[in-house]
Amino acid sequence: MLKRLRDSGHVAYFAGGCVRDSLLGLEAKDWDVATDAPPDRVRQLFKLSQAVGAAFGVILVKSGRSQVEVATFRSDGVYEDGRHPSSVRFTSAEEDARRRDFTINGLFLDPIEDRVIDFVGGRDDLNAKILRAIGSPAERFTEDHLRLLRAVRFASRFGFEIEPVTREAIFALAPRIKSISPERIADELRLMLTPTTRNIAWTLLWELGLGREIFRFLPKPPERMDAQRSIFLNVDVEHSISFGLALAAAILDARGQPDIVPLLTRDEVSKSAAAMVQALRISNREYDEITETLAGIEPLLQANPPTLAQKKRFLARETTLQSRLIMDAMARIGIHSTRIQQLRADWSELSAGDFAPAPLLSGNDLIALGIKPGPQYKQILDGVYDAQLENKIASREQAIELAMTLRTA
Ligand code: ATP
Ligand code: MG
């Protein structure tokens, strides 16, 4: 692809993220091409192409099984809405590098001559592990507020320090993040708060003043995040986590401690998760994951220890793993740690056996028994299943007998 552009007399380089990633020795997600060929010319040269961002001069070119974005070198005009330039102008490679957000994202690679073209000092910053805005940080973040979050995402993903002036500008402009659409904010959070580098992102979000802007809908967002008290920061980081789990931990962190049980009631949990939907337009599946993860914990941390049935029911939940990761984090910072340690021991024993046996009785059985249908069906079936889980009954006959004593009509 690059070669065809070259052979037709154009300048063409790999640009942006792919150059950064390959210099870091990482696998690049997608190989974007930047060229001096205007969009029309690109479309002429590549029959299998599609104008995706015509206004920005971006053409999607089919190459084998994949697609490559070919973008004409451009410089962006004035930004009016804190997100999009009102116009673009096609220009030189150097100007194209300068319109990009961070120096490490402003590199070009000429794979034919095996040469990195660096107009912005990106290579030095890559080597020194520094994230630095190109040009005047304050101006760059004022133009496009999404860059405030991109900074946190890249700094955390690569473990880079944010250069002090860039950092100051983010802190000063953090309130502007509110003008970015909830979906875009959620997309960035999803990328930074799920991988194993998420703790750096969580810490940076609060240090830089972005956390309390983004999570301002929660009653008491703290000023900073303290590793001794943060549940989020104490979730095991060996693996990446789902966004739902990340937000569940976020809710607990942002709502303060130590009296955590009242925050875990289904009511409270639904309120916070609904606020997350409002603020971040998260999916229904993510909403459910948050509520199930947190509500599943509540019965286990009451003053009275949970019953055998409650412990088994917990193990059979879809969000057991998520709830356990949160509880492990709680125990680590001394919230309900004795109880949680006991539960861990109980669960390892229970998991060896059948903690979710097929119910001895079903709704059809109740009909056959002539019990009047209604809300009491659930109560009876729950009661019978609890007895089964408690090993108090073991046969269908015993289950029927119990159902008859539990019925009210
Ligand atoms: P990732 O690996 O996460 O895709 P990336 O660096 O490729 O990271 P993209 O969002 O795919 O990021 O954008 C590609 C390139 O376009 C970036 O490397 C950067 O040079 C430029 N870019 C993207 N978004 C912006 C922005 N908001 N402001 C300035 N430049 C941007
Ligand atoms: Mg990319």
pLDDT at 228: 87
pLDDT at 281: 96
What is the distance between the alpha carbons of residues 409 and 401, in angstroms, rounded to a whole number? 15
Give per-residue pLDDT as tens, 58-95: 999 998 888 999 999 999 988 988 988 988 899 999 99
| Overall average pLDDT of the 343-356 stretch | 96
| Overall average pLDDT of the 163-183 stretch | 97
Which residue type occupies 275?
A: A
**CA 200 to chain centroid:** 13
Q: Ligand 1: does its nearest atom lie under 6 Å from the Cβ of 144?
A: yes
Angle formed at CA 120 by CA 109 and CA 158, multiple of 5 degrees = 75
pTM: 0.93
Q: Ligand 1: does its nearest atom lie under 6 Å from the Cβ of 100?
A: yes
Ligand 1: which residue has its CA nearest to atom 6?
Answer: 17
Give per-residue pLDDT as tens, 289-334: 999 999 999 999 999 999 999 999 999 999 999 999 999 999 999 9
Least confident segment among 99-103, 194-198, 223-227: 223-227
Distance 147 CA to ligand 1 centre (A): 9
Ligand 1: which residue has its CA nearest to atom 15?
Answer: 16
Residue 278, Cβ density class (10 Å: 0-12 exposed, 13-18 middle, ≥19 buried): exposed
Domains detected in the chain: 1-122 (3.30.460.10), 129-214 (1.10.110.30), 227-356 (no CATH), 363-408 (no CATH)
Distance 29 CA to ligand 2 centre (A): 6
Ligand 1: which residue has its CA nearest to atom 21?
Answer: 100
Which ligand 1 atom lies nearest to the CA of residue 21? 2
Q: Ligand 1: does its nearest atom lie under 6 Å from the Cβ of 323?
A: no
Q: Ligand 1: does its nearest atom lie under 6 Å from the Cβ of 122?
A: no
